[in-house]
Amino acid sequence: MPLEPSTLYIVATPIGNLGDISPRALETLAQADVLLAEDTRVTRKLCSYFEISTEIERFDENTSVQKIPHVLSLLGEGSRIALVSDAGTPCVSDPGLNLVAAVKDAGFDVVSIPGASAVLVALSSSGIVANGFYFGGFVPRKIGDRRKAFSDVASLDAALVFFESPHRVVSTLDLLAELFPLRTGAVARELTKMYEEVIRLPLPELAREMASREKIKGEIVLVIGNRSEQEREQNAFDDEEIAELLREKIAHGQTRSSAIKQVVAETGSARNVVYGIALGL
């Protein structure tokens, strides 16, 4: 089917195995007037493999702000534009969301061409049982920011999913084992590729397993299970115990906001419950 003019197409590409690309995605890439790509070299290899000669322009976190007016101008002229990321579904932890918002605000159409997503592939193959999941994007680089990111979502009744670098995964797993020693986790590595691996273990064991490896390669998705029954029982604090913890932290100079965050992380209690108790102090 011919592409519509003045339309932005969000095209999911394979996360590893090129055979996973859909016929509709290939048609869109071939018919588009311009392809917007995070890394033009990666997208050029994909297009070369499938003999697609569409013009490719760079669109990444360093160029997105100045590139958006240019894209809107092309759409205004009737161009059909396809947005791709290096792998998987665009607009997941990449600058594509800002473009989509600007295109919609300008009154142009946006069409999604669905396909592979590392988040969903990791979840479905992890064996982590949960009622839902929270996706946190890339794990922060700094250890303090990492600790805060995990502590802020500690009380969620859901699996936690993050992207991580192979160079930092061991230190991140050590932190997760410290914060959530009773939870199960999974490392999903090189998904859909020749050396695909999904390891599911209690977090302390998972941290030791990955630390024992001489070298870790490939893109990594971390899946952390939600609270176990044992953890729930250990974290069954009553209102007075939570109030006492808040009083202690505030008495030692913490702001109310900081005390609430820390007590939520320490007790596993819902934030709205801790916040309500804090207001009553």
**22 closest CA partner among 99, 114, 85, 112:** 114
Residue 242 token pair: 């939570």
Residue 95 token pair: 């600058």
Q: How much is the mean pLDDT over the chain?
A: 91
How confident is residue 118, by pLDDT bands cut at 50, 70 and 90? very high
CATH class entry, domain 7-116: alpha beta
Q: Is residue 126 within 8 Å of 206, Cβ to Cβ?
A: no
Residue with the two structure tokens 């007075």? 240
Pairing of strands 220-224, 159-164: antiparallel
How confident is residue 267, by pLDDT bands cut at 50, 70 and 90? confident
User: To the nearest whole percent, how much of the chain has pLDDT over 70?
Assistant: 96
Chain CA centroid to CA 61, Å: 16
Q: Which CATH number fits domain 119-227: 3.30.530.20, 3.90.1150.10, 3.30.930.10, 3.30.950.10?
A: 3.30.950.10
How far apart are alpha carbons 40 and 212 in whole angstroms?
36
User: To the nearest whole percent, how much of the chain has pLDDT over 90?
Assistant: 68
